[in-house]
Amino acid sequence: MSRNSGSPGNRPPVMVSACLLGVHCRYDGLHALCPDLRDFAGRHPCIPFCPEQLGGLPTPRSPCRIVGGDGRDVLTGKARLINAEGENRTEEFRRGAEEAYRLSRLTGSGIAVMKSGSPSCGIHTVYCEKPEGRGTGVTAALFQKRGIIVFELDSNDSFPDQKFLDALKQLNDKERPCSV
């Protein structure tokens, strides 16, 4: 069985931060709907996920920041997630990243569109401690480490751009079974 055999039209699905599709999963109980992404999800199979919920955190929840580095450093045990009350939530963030990765394997997805700015989903989050001022979120870091192509998006951004479409096409071509 090929990795994408379960997807409608045999197209590998795109992993998508659920808040960008209008799911109320943010730390404050709100969503971060990106209308362009919602429209795209009507045309292409998508897997909505929220790593912080998958890791067992409630909604709403106390916001966290990465202390001692960024998401890459969390994966190597050098940094931690601390919430506004000073509680350590590192295990929940790590578990959520692993569960999100498990979902990507189950569904045959090799590409993700994730909410910018988040200490879980962002590629350039300010909620961390890096000399550059920005770093990668925990789930984004795990996805990148394991070969998933990650794009980040904010609510008001246009989507999809050519870079994303090219990456998706490349994945589709790679996954399509040989016809001879």
* Residue given tokens 């000073």 in the structure block: 86
Q: Which of 4, 7, 17, 107 binds ligand SF4 (CB under 6 A)?
A: 17
| CB nearer to ligand SF4: pick between 4 and 141 | 141
- x/- binding map, residues 110-149, to ligand SF4, per CB under 6 A? -----x--x-xx----------------------------
Distance set, CA 12 to CA 74, 111, 147, 150 (Å): 29, 9, 15, 15
Smallest separation, CB 3 to ligand SF4 (Å): 24
| CB nearer to ligand SF4: pick between 115 and 160 | 115
Report whether 32 contacts 19 (CB < 8 A). Answer: yes
Cα separation, 109 vs 115, whole angstroms: 17
Please enumerate in sequence order all residues whose Cβ is within 8 A of that of 130, keeping only pairs 6 or more positions apart, or say none.
Answer: 69, 70
- x/- binding map, residues 24-63, to ligand SF4, per CB under 6 A? -xx-----------------------xxx-----------
Residue from 1, 24, 14 nearest 172 by CA: 14
Smallest separation, CB 158 to ligand SF4 (Å): 19
**SS3 per-residue string spanning 95-159:** HHHHHHHHHHHHHCCCEEEEECCCCCCCCCECCCCCCCCCECCHHHHHHHHCCCEEEEECCCCCC
Q: Which of 14, 15, 18, 81 binds ligand SF4 (CB under 6 A)?
A: 18
- x/- binding map, residues 76-115, to ligand SF4, per CB under 6 A? ---------------------------------------x
- Written as one letter, the residue type at 75 is L
Residues interacting with ligand SF4, by CB under 6 A? Answer: 17-19, 25-26, 50-52, 115, 118, 120-121
